[in-house]
Amino acid sequence: MATVKFPELAPPPMEDAEQLRKAFEGWGANEKLIINILGHRNAEQRKAIRRAYYEAYKEDLIKALQKELSSDFERAVFLWTLDPSERDAVLAYKAALKWKPGNHVLIEIACTRSPHELFLARQSYHVFYRRSLEEDVAAHTAGDYRKLLLLLIASHRYDGPEVNMTLAKAEAKILHLKIADKDYSHDEFIRILTTRSKAQLNATFNQYNNEFGHAINKDLESDTRDDYLAALRAVIKCMTRPEKYFEKVLRLAINKLGTDEEALIRVITTRAEVDLKAIKEEYYGRNSIPLEVAIAKDTSGDYEKFLLALLGHESD
């Protein structure tokens, strides 16, 4: 359900690297060429180009891009060109260091990636920052949030499809009981959300809905001003309906006066190779305007062209 289009048989990585080098030469960079190459290569192909570039010029392609490009276009090309686990590390670092209640980027990374991808992101974090994501999250969060976030980012859930219905029934009851008591950070409540597999949780939430007559997220809306409850809803949405979660992030980013570029770039670069197609469908269903049209209205120049390429729409 990716949107980005790439040739099945891409040119040899060295050829792409040479083209990119050429694009950086002369007065100003040749942005069109950069978009034509990097906007049409998958993660594996980009990695090979980066390696070839380093071998030929003894310079990291990422550094060269940062030197040549600027502002939103630079940020988008930079994040896109990184390996997905490095990209997650960069995003998590920023999210941890400027964390405040209501910022759900750490939850998004912990709950929409596969357990293995999350593991790789934590490893890249060690390499980049010489410390752990857990340390940084612990240092910048407090209280109920700290307990929830630390367990979420450190979790290594089982990733298989098996579901135990007896367990789903028992744990739906526990969740319901804790919600009725407004005991939202109870150990058992947090344990279930942070350790069970996504398939198991989906069954538990379906069971909750069937037995108690409301979706669990409706019952977590008792106080819509409560940031911690919003965080719990984000956890549940990210794990069961990520396309819905991302549709909302995009909608808020685009509708905001003066577009939230950071959120827009984050969602497009992290989902273009995953589920951006489903997110686009969700967006159209909700807003009656195609996502690429909404983005084209709010952005311009090479930045717009690059985002549209990742969305699978050529602007030329």
Ligand X SMILES: *[C@@H]1O[C@H](CO)[C@@H](O)[C@H](O)[C@H]1NC(C)=O
Amino acid present at 16: D
Has 63 been labeled as part of a binding site?
Answer: no
Question: What distance in Å separates the CA atoms of residue 256 and residue 254, rounded to the nearest whole number?
Answer: 5
Among 167, 174, 215, 296, binds ligand X (CB under 6 A): 167
Is the separation of the CB atoms in 122 and 156 below 8 Å?
no
Nearest-angstrom CA–CA distance, 8 and 41: 9
Smallest distance from ligand X to CB 58, Å: 45
Closest CB 106 distance from ligand X, rounded Å: 21
As a whole number of Å, the end-to-end CA separation of the chain is 24
DSSP per-residue codes, 14-72:
HHHHHHHHHHHSSSS--HHHHHHHHTT--HHHHHHHHHHHHHHHSS-HHHHHHHH--HH
Based on the shown chain and the rule CB under 6 A, indicate whether residue 311 belongs to the binding site for ligand X. Answer: no
Angle formed at CA 21 by CA 20 and CA 25, multiple of 5 degrees: 115
Answer whether 187's CB lies under 8 Å from 151's CB.
no
Site size toward ligand X (CB under 6 A) is 7
199-238 footprint of ligand X as x/- string (CB under 6 A):
x--x---x--------------------------------
Structure tokens at 261: 């570029």
Residues whose CB is less than 8 angstroms from the CB of residue 47 and which lie 6 or more positions away in sequence, other chains included: 83
Question: Which span (3-11, 144-152, 160-168, 179-187) binds ligand X, by CB under 6 A?
Answer: 160-168
Contacting residue, 36, 200, 240, 270, with ligand X by CB under 6 A: 240
Q: Which two tokens stand for residue 226?
A: 């409560």
Which one of residues 166, 213, 257, 288 is an interface residue with ligand X (CB under 6 A)?
166
Our CB check for ligand X shows the closer of 154 and 167 to be 167
Which listed range, 123-131, 164-172, 187-195, 281-289, lies at the site for ligand X (CB under 6 A)? 164-172
What's the min distance (Å) between Cβ of 196 and ligand X?
11
Write out the residues near ligand X by the rule CB under 6 A: 164, 166-167, 199, 202, 206, 240
Annotated binding site for Ca(2+): 24, 26, 28, 68, 254, 256, 258, 296, 298-299, 304
